[in-house]
Amino acid sequence: DPSTIDFMVNNAQATIQAAKRQKVSCVVLTSSGGSTNPSDHPNEVPKKEHEHWSDPESQKQRGRFSPAAKTLMEIHALAAVGRNQANQIVQPEKAKDAPRLCIMNPNLILGPQLHPGPISGNSLPWIVRILKGEAMNETIPNDSMSIIDVRDLALLHVACFENKDASGRYFGVDKSYPWEEILTVFEDALPSYEKPPRFEGVQHTPTQFDFTRRDSLGVKLRPLKETMGDLIAFLQSKGVLIGERS
């Protein structure tokens, strides 16, 4: 929906202005890795937060309004604190009175749901369908997915707030895992699940990241096996998944 763009941009602006009025020292915004994908960027070349940006106009033309909204939200949020897309101060007067701004860029967020109640959102119901054999059940995709544990993402947000030197964008990603590896971890953790046949040919290179900035925050991230094991245990506790864990 195109209205998503104004909604995200305006709410980020309002948050920054409210923080400025109330003398809040730092604002941490959650965006998406969908804003860090320049066209024709090869997976083999590590992406860097302040160099690699999606083209919002191209995103809008392709009907990708949610990623476009996040890209534009970030650009306007940085401008509101006097900075450009490289996180350089370009308007000193505006930057002087602005809160410190950090932006987290995650992709697929998994792990036990933090808020109470039934499972919700897009990611967890989709994972349940995969584990029940209702989705991604014909062939393993020759592709990859950038994943982070929700608990680690929360800690990265806190680290951004607490570290007075933190500023600008940070990849909220553990790494990009091939789907073959992801589904194998599911199979190992849940014996009732059987992954589909492998694709033919050579595995495509997963997206590569330069994690220098993320690692500067000092948060130790969980391995994929732990995240997926805890996720399956959580889904079983909610009664949406049956079967013994290995």
**Long-range Cβ contacts of 8-17 (<8 Å, 24+ apart):** 8/69, 8/70, 8/72, 8/73, 9/69, 9/72, 9/73, 9/76, 12/73, 12/76, 12/77, 12/80, 13/76, 13/77, 13/80, 16/77, 16/80, 16/81, 16/98, 16/99, 16/101, 17/80
CA distance linking residue 143 with residue 198, whole number of Å: 12
Would you state the pLDDT for residue 19?
98
Burial 170-192 (b: 16+ CB within 10 A, else e): bbbbbbbbbbbebbebbeebbee
Look up the pTM and report it.
0.95
* In the block, residue with structure tokens 């860090």: 36
Average pLDDT of the chain? 96
* Per-residue pLDDT tens over the stretch 125-176: 999 999 999 999 999 999 999 999 999 999 999 999 999 999 999 999 999 9
Q: How is residue 245 written in tokens? A: 């864990």
Predicted local confidence at residue 243, as pLDDT: 65
Mean pLDDT along residues 192-203: 96
45-59 average pLDDT score: 97
Question: Taking a C-beta distance cutoff of 8 angstroms, is the pair 146, 176 a contact?
Answer: yes
pLDDT above 90: residue 184: yes
Task: Look at residue 71 and tell me whether its pLDDT is greater than 90.
Answer: yes
Q: How many helices (H) and strands (E) does the chain have?
A: 9, 6
Lookup: tokens for 208: 């590569």
Spacing of C-alpha 234 from chain mean position: 21
| Cβ 133 vs Cβ 193: under 8 Å | yes
List, for residues 30-39, the tens digit of each pLDDT value. Answer: 999 999 999 9
Query: Which pLDDT does position 34 carry in this prediction?
Result: 96
Contact by Cβ (8 Å): 217, 160: yes
**What DSSP element (H or E) covers 61?**
helix 56-61
Read off the tokens for 228: 């997926």
- The residue that leads in pLDDT, 82 or 246, is 82
Mean pLDDT of 187-203: 95
The predicted pLDDT at position 242 comes to 78
